[in-house]
Structure formats: structure tokens, C-alpha cells
Structure 1
């Protein structure tokens, strides 16, 4: 009986060791794949955020010029909202790129630390807020293209300032992510 137990242990030890080595190699390989995936996502995300930050900078200049035009024609009752918009060649809103964030949030979000998850989620929420505010601005302009009154121009200015505030907030969050 002792010989059977010894033979059994002698046969089982290589199997157990083999299984443990296989599990260790599998874990090592999974960790390596996760690190590569995270590196790729981080690189893509940083590129998207850098592009978005630049787009916001460019659009802020155009939007502030639009506000200056509104101020310049505020009391001129011959210039309509449409005229002001056409003189500024339209309304500009930046493109907020967060495709990498959406990719990782739908698959391997546990690989990111909480601060980055929180910051990217905030940018996503602000993107939706910016979209909503932009639609409100467009709806207002479509409903009032021929308006020349000071009150409508002031309201247009308020809508633009609200959009700018959201863009500046997004820009701040992007800067925090990029610097960390």
C-alpha cells in the first residue's frame, strides 16, 4: 500500500508542477497582452485628446470673434442674427474625440486607474452637454434668423458663452489627463 501511495505521489507531482507552470505562463501572457492593449489605448487616447484640445483652441478663437461681432452689432437694429452669423462664416463647435475611451470602457475598463476613468467619463458627459447646448444654439438661430433686437442678440451671446464655458472645462480636463 505504501508503494502505491509513493508511486501515486511520484506520478502526480510532475502533473501538478506542469499545471502550475502552464497557469503561470498563461497569466504572464495575459498580463503582457493587457499591458500592450493598455499601451495602445493610452497612446490612441492621448492622440485623440491632443487633437481635441487643439480643435477647441482653434474654435474658441472663432467663437470669441463671434461674440465680439454680437457685441459690435448689439444695438444696431438693421443687422440680424443671420447677418452676424454669415459675417463670421457660421458657427464653429469642436469635435470631441473619445473613441479610445469608448473602446476600453466597453471591454477592459478594469485596466485603468480610477482617476483616469473618472476624468474620461467626465469628458464624455461634457461632450454630450456640449452637443445639447450646440443644438439649442442652432435651434435658436433657426427660429430667429431675421431678429435684430438687442434682447435676442444678448441671448445669442449667452448661449455662446455657455458653450465656451463647457469647452474650457473639457480643455481643463484634457490637460489634467495629458499631464498625468
Structure 2
């Protein structure tokens, strides 16, 4: 093709047809420009197609993460609500006028539940990966903003959970150091040695430690569920927004 155009130019020059040569040259330039523009347009179309495909793939992955979080947080918050209600019932039971110190000791020896609900973490692998790789820019601005707000909420909720959990664990260590309450492993098992540890109790100290334990556990349940329910609502809203707008 290049040889063909070169032959035409040479023929026009040889025939001294300069006006036709210039017209031809301009036409050739226009053809080249049009070819470049078409090539750029095709390239842009291919890039846009790749970006759209990447956006759809990442958005689908984000949807799966959000669905997993909603499923997990629903179960987690319901479990915490149940245990919190049990703690409230125990508090009402212990605070009855007819409830004696001996009954309180029996509660500590047999019925106290020191466990809390462990939190495994959020399903934000896709978001973290997109942050690291710089792929967040392929998302719509509104979705990117909403995901960032959710990410902040998750971090705040996680930090609050860890802080409340550590405070509670410290209190468990405090009460276990003074009273042989049921724990996953007790070096001193139920035996005469164990019973000896319950003799000559300081009743005031026992009540203060039990009150501190129950109050910290209640605070853990209250703050954790408040934070995680807010995160759950935000997660549901983002998922609904994606489902309404995702092609």
C-alpha cells in the first residue's frame, strides 16, 4: 500500500502536475489522520471495555464480601443479644432480696458464664486488595465513598471490640486470682483443695468483684452490639445500592 501511494506521488511529480500533487498529498494526510483517529477510538473502546469488565468483576467480589458480612453480623449480633439478656436475667436473679450469700457462692462455683462471643473479623479482602493495587479508581465515586465510610466504621468497631474485650479479660484474671470460678482449665480441680479456697470468704470483696465482672461484661455486650449493628445497617445499604445500580 505504501509503495502504491509512493508510485502515485512520483507520477504526479514527473508529469509536473503540482496542483494535483498537493491535493493528493492533502488527501493522503487526511487519510492518515482519519486512520489514527479510528485507531485511537478503537483503543479507547477496548480500554473502556476492559475497565467496565474489571469494574463488574470487582463489584461482584465486593457484593460477595458484603453478603458474607451481613450473614455473619446478623448471627453475631443475635448471639450477643441472647447472652446479654441472659446476663440481665442473672443480675435480676442475684439482686433479689431473698438471694443469700450462700446462693451467690453457688452461682460463682457452678453457674457463672465467663465467656463472650469472639469476633472473627470483617470480609473486606477485596477492598483491601483494591486499595493496595490502586484499583479503587475503577469504581463509581459514590460507591467508592460509601465503601470508604464502611471501612472507617469497621476499623472503629474492631478497635472498640478489642478494647472492651481486653478490659473484660483483665477483670476475669482479677476474679480468677481470688476465686476458683469455672474456667476452661483449672489446675486445682473440684476437690477438698478447691473447697478450701472458698472458705472464709470476704463477702464484700466477693460482691465488688462480681459487680465489676458483670458490669464490664454488660458494657462489652452493649458497646460491641451497638457498633456492629451500625456497621450491619451500613453494609446492607451499600449492598442494596449496588444491586439497584449494578448492570
Q: Output the TM-score relative to the length of structure 2.
A: 0.63
Give 5+ residue unaligned stretches, structure 2: 1-17, 96-103, 176-208, 242-247
Instruction: After TM superposition, give the deviation of residue 94 of structure 1 in Å.
Output: 5.0
CA distance in 2, matches of 1:45, 1:134: 24
Cα distance between partner residues in 2 of 1:70 and 1:178: 34
Paired position in structure 2 for 1:92: 118
Matched positions, count? 175
C-alpha distance in 1 between matches for 2:169 and 2:228: 23
Residue 4 of structure 1, CA deviation: 4.7
TM-score, length-normalised on structure 1? Answer: 0.84
CA distance in 2, matches of 1:85, 1:167: 21
Q: Which of 4, 15, 20 in structure 1 is aligned with 2:37? A: 20
1:124 to 145, 148, 151: 151
The DSSP-based 3-state class of the residue aligned with 2:82 is helix
Contact in 2 for aligned 1:62/1:92 (Cα 8 Å): no
Q: Which runs of 5+ in 1 are unaligned?
A: none
| 1:54 Cα deviation after fit | 0.4
Match of 2:99 in 1: none
Alignment correspondent of 2:165: 138
- Deviation at residue 120 of structure 1 after TM alignment: 0.9
Q: Is residue 137–residue 159 contact of structure 1 (8 Å, CA) maintained in 2?
A: yes
Q: Distance in 1 between matches of 2:39 and 2:128?
A: 33
- Deviation for aligned residue 1:3: 4.4
**Partners of 2:57 and 2:48 in 1: CA distance:** 14
Query: Within 1, Cα distance between the matches of 2:170 and 2:146?
Result: 36
Residues 59, 94 of structure 1: 8 Å contact kept: no
Correspondence list, 1:152-163, <5 A: 152-163=213-224
Q: Is the 8 A contact 2:164 2:219 kept in 1?
A: no
What is the rounded CA distance, in whole Å, between the counterparts of 2:78 and 2:142 in structure 1? 30
Aligned match for 1:69, one of 73, 86, 91: 86
